[in-house]
């Protein structure tokens, strides 16, 4: 049996020496120390030896087992250290090299404009509210005093989901939601995406962004609206900006007005950018809240009055930054965005 153990030790140590991976070492361990391993089988045969030889052979077998186990552990450590050295060599990082130049991102002009608008009106005491893009016909048209035959209700102008729901055509439904939820007095602004079949020129898009404002209180008049918009325009574009109010007609306000501002390129002198008029494109629409709208929201128009205004964030950005095509803001062209 001693010769068997000597031969087993010699074979095991040679196999361990030639092993290249941890997996090979595990196979060697199982070959000799597993339930059916060679050393295990020899140990099972100790019971057949004469009684006086058993302790001697048992002690020698344990010595062989311990020696083989030591070499297994040592070889495993050597293999792992060698693999670590190779990995460190392959993943070597030269910290003296100049790092790759990182490109810094830019705020999108639409997001910048939206945040500027909100900041201006929050400082004026308005609260920012938000609402869904999928809206009811009742909130989008009916409660806003829109006639049944109004062109904007036509399917050629509006994206209907079914007879009672649609993609909102303006952010004005938030006025209805706010008045129904909070009642009066009220001072809110809201912004978000709106949708229309509108793609006629470089200043229109079937998806664009609006910013809406509403004030309802006792004694609110057109004069309050004009003063509020004057402050807004000066804050947004500068003190040298001139404002023009033109009469208009909106179903939800009476009286109504459209607001223009002087051209940022020529400052009112007249140039190709403003078609020699001295005025930029229409900036926003506004007016005194129609009594029917207040009634539809459960507010007594004999006690309360209000004003509302709505503007395209895209158009504000175009005026502020001199952008001549609204589509540029939706194309994610880095050459365009990097200018901001």
145: left (phi over 0), alpha (psi -120 to 50) or beta: left
CA–CA dist 210, 315 (Å, integer)? 9
Number of H helices, E strands in the chain: 11, 9
Number of residues written out for the chain: 340
Contact assessment for residue 314 and residue 230, using Cβ atoms and an 8 Å cutoff: no
Strand bridging mode 134-136 / 243-250: unpaired
User: What does the DSSP 8-state code read for residue 219?
Assistant: T
Please give the order of strands across the beta sheet that includes 207-217: 127-129, 186-195, 207-217, 305-312, 284-289, 253-261, 243-250
Identify whether the C-beta of residue 273 lies closer than 8 Å to the C-beta of residue 266. yes
Strand runs labelled E in 233-293: 243-250, 253-261, 284-289
Is 254 annotated in some ligand binding site? yes
Report CA 278 to chain centroid distance, whole Å: 39
Q: Which residues are annotated as a binding site for Mg(2+)?
A: 254
Q: Which residues are annotated as a binding site?
A: 254
């Amino acid at each position: 049996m001693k010769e068997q153990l000597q031969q087993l030790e010699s074979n095991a140590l040679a196999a361990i020496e030639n092993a290249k991976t941890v997996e090979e070492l595990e196979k060697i361990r199982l070959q000799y120390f597993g339930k059916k391993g060679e050393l295990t089988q020899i140990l099972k045969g100790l019971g057949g030896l004469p009684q006086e030889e058993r302790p001697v052979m048992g002690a020698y077998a344990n010595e062989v087992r311990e020696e083989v186990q030591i070499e297994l552990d040592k070889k495993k450590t050597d293999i792992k250290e060698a693999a670590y050295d190779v990995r460190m060599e392959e993943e070597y990082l030269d910290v003296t090299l100049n790092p790759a130049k990182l490109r810094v991102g830019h705020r999108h002009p639409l997001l910048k404009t939206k945040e500027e608008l909100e900041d201006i009106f929050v400082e004026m005491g308005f609260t920012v509210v938000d609402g869904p893009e999928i809206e009811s016909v009742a909130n989008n048209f009916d409660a806003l005093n829109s006639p049944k035959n109004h062109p904007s209700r036509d399917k050629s102008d509006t994206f209907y989901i079914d007879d009672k729901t649609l993609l909102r055509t303006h952010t004005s439904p938030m006025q209805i939601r706010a008045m129904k939820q909070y009642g009066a007095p009220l001072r809110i602004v809201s912004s978000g995406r709106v949708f229309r079949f509108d793609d006629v020129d470089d200043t229109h898009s079937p998806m664009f962004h609006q910013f809406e404002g509403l004030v309802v209180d006792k004694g609110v008049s057109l004069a309050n609206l004009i003063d509020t918009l004057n402050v807004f325009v000066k804050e947004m574009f500068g003190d040298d900006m001139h404002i023009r109010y033109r009469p208009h007609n909106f179903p939800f306000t009476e009286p109504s007005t459209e607001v223009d501002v002087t051209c940022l390129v020529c400052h009112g002198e007249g140039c190709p950018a403003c078609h020699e008029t001295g005025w930029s494109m229409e900036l926003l629409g506004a007016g005194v809240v129609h009594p029917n709208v207040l009634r539809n929201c459960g507010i007594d128009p004999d006690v309360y009055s209000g004003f509302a205004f709505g503007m395209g964030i895209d158009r504000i950005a175009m005026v502020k930054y001199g952008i001549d095509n609204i589509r540029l803001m939706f194309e994610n062209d880095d050459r365009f965005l990097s200018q901001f």
